[in-house]
């Protein structure tokens, strides 16, 4: 597992400063801004703006279809409107304090111990040690949150028999029939 110090070193060597361009919140290529979220993240956004779960999230677009006609996807994604995140207002995030892990850590993510860097116009800019450490801590927190969510999904999958033809979202809290 990566330490905050070693990750911060790598982030600092890469360099990053958000330019506020909003490109990561808008669709610049097919599905580029799909923000996958766990139920706890959906509720955080919904609570912040007085909305509902369904008002904030929809089923993650990639689904799995089995031979018996069962179709399911894992987790949710933030709703978008015309390719833009529903919560991008005037070029700013209107749910900034409640924004999901992916938004907090973009353009970085961890794949195991490997730091993955996505395209971003803010890369290469000087970053303070304090901010690099904060991003590193967030990345480690995100990885742990994703591990817990995946573990929850596996437990739900192992304990739930889905009748043939089920169309649903599976998250760490259960199976939610949502598809028409
Ligand atoms: S929640 Fe905020 S930061 Fe995340 S994609 Fe939407 S507008 Fe951007």
Q: Give the span between the Cα atoms of 164 and 71, in whole angstroms.
A: 9
Mean pLDDT, residues 6-17 taken together: 98
Whether 32 is covered by a domain: the verdict is yes
Looking from the CA of residue 96, the nearest atom of ligand 1 is: 2
What is the domain extent for residue 94?
4-62+75-141
Whether 92 is covered by a domain: the verdict is yes
Residue 20, pLDDT > 80, answer: yes
Mean pLDDT, residues 52-72 taken together: 93
Give 85-105 pLDDT, tens digit per residue. Answer: 999 999 899 999 999 999 999
Whether 41 is covered by a domain: the verdict is yes
With cut-offs at 50, 70 and 90, classify the pLDDT of residue 162: confident
Distance (angstroms) between ligand 1 centre and the Cα of 111 equals 22
Whether 107 is covered by a domain: the verdict is yes
Whether 159 is covered by a domain: the verdict is no
Whether 123 is covered by a domain: the verdict is yes
Percent pLDDT > 70 in the chain is 98
Q: How many domains, in total, are found in the chain?
A: 1
| Closest CA to ligand 1's atom 4 | 103
Residue 107 preceded by cis peptide, ω within 30: yes
The two tokens of residue 142 are 């995100």
State the distance between the two ends of the chain, measured CA to CA, in whole angstroms.
Answer: 42
Helices (DSSP H) in the chain: which residue ranges?
4-14, 39-49, 53-56, 101-105, 129-159
With cut-offs at 50, 70 and 90, classify the pLDDT of residue 1: confident
Whether 170 is covered by a domain: the verdict is no
Residue 180, pLDDT > 70, answer: no
Whether 42 is covered by a domain: the verdict is yes
Q: Give the span between the Cα atoms of 144 and 20, in whole angstroms.
A: 27
Q: Is the CB of 99 under 6 A from ligand 1?
A: yes
């Amino acid at each position: 597992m990566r330490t905050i110090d070693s990750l911060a070193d790598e982030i600092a060597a890469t360099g990053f400063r958000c330019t506020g361009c909003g490109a990561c919140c808008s669709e610049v290529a097919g599905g580029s801004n799909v923000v996958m979220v766990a139920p706890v993240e959906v509720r955080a956004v919904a609570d912040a703006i007085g909305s509902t779960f369904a008002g904030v999230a929809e089923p993650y677009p990639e689904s799995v279809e089995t031979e018996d006609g069962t179709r399911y996807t894992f987790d949710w994604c933030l709703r978008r409107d015309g390719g833009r995140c529903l919560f991008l207002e005037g070029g700013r995030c209107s749910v900034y304090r409640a924004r999901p892990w992916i938004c907090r850590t973009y353009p970085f993510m961890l794949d195991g111990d490997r730091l993955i860097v996505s395209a971003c116009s803010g890369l290469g800019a000087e970053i303070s040690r304090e901010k690099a450490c904060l991003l590193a801590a967030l990345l480690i927190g995100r990885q742990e949150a994703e591990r817990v969510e995946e573990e929850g999904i596996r437990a739900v999958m192992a304990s739930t028999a889905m009748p043939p033809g089920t169309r649903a979202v599976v998250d760490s809290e259960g199976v939610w029939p949502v598809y028409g």
